[in-house]
C-alpha cells in the first residue's frame, strides 16, 4: 500500500512540475524552442516562437535551426555550420542562445 501511495505522490509532483514548466514556457515574452540533438529537430516551441517564425507549432517541430535560418549569416558564416557548433557546445553543457 505504501509503494502505491509513494508512486501516486511522485506522479502528482511530476504533473505539477510539468504544468509549471508549460505555463512558464507558454507565457514567456521570448521565443523559446527546445531542440533534440539526437532527432535533429525542435521538440517544443512556444507561441512567441510560432509568431516570430510565422509557423505553426507543428511546422516548427519538423524543422532544425538550419532549416529556419538563412543559408548565410550577415557576417558570411554558414547557418548550418553555426547551428552545428551551437549544438556541440550545448551537448558539452554550455548554455547556448541562438539568434
pTM: 0.68
Query: What are the tens digits of pLDDT across the range 38-96?
Result: 888 899 999 999 999 999 999 999 888 888 888 988 889 898 888 888 889 988 999 88
Residue spans per domain, the chain: 1-28, 31-99
Alpha helices in 1-99 (DSSP H): 2-27, 47-53, 57-60, 79-91
Element (H, E) at 35: strand 33-36
All three cell numbers of 75:
557576417
Bridge partners (DSSP) listed for residue 72? 78
Higher pLDDT pick, 24 / 92? 92
Q: What angle do CA 69, 72, 77 make, to 5 degrees?
A: 120
| Cβ–Cβ under 8 Å, residues 44 and 33 | yes
Amino acid at each position: 500500500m505504501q509503494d502505491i501511495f509513494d508512486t501516486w505522490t511522485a506522479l502528482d509532483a511530476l504533473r505539477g512540475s510539468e504544468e509549471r514548466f508549460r505555463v512558464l514556457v507558454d507565457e514567456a515574452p521570448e521565443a523559446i524552442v527546445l531542440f533534440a540533438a539526437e532527432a535533429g529537430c525542435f521538440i517544443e516551441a512556444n507561441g512567441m516562437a510560432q509568431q516570430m517564425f510565422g509557423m505553426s507549432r507543428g511546422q516548427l517541430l519538423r524543422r532544425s535551426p538550419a532549416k529556419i535560418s538563412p543559408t548565410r549569416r550577415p557576417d558570411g558564416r554558414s547557418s548550418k555550420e553555426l547551428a552545428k557548433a551551437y549544438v556541440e557546445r550545448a551537448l558539452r553543457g554550455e548554455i547556448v542562445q541562438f539568434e
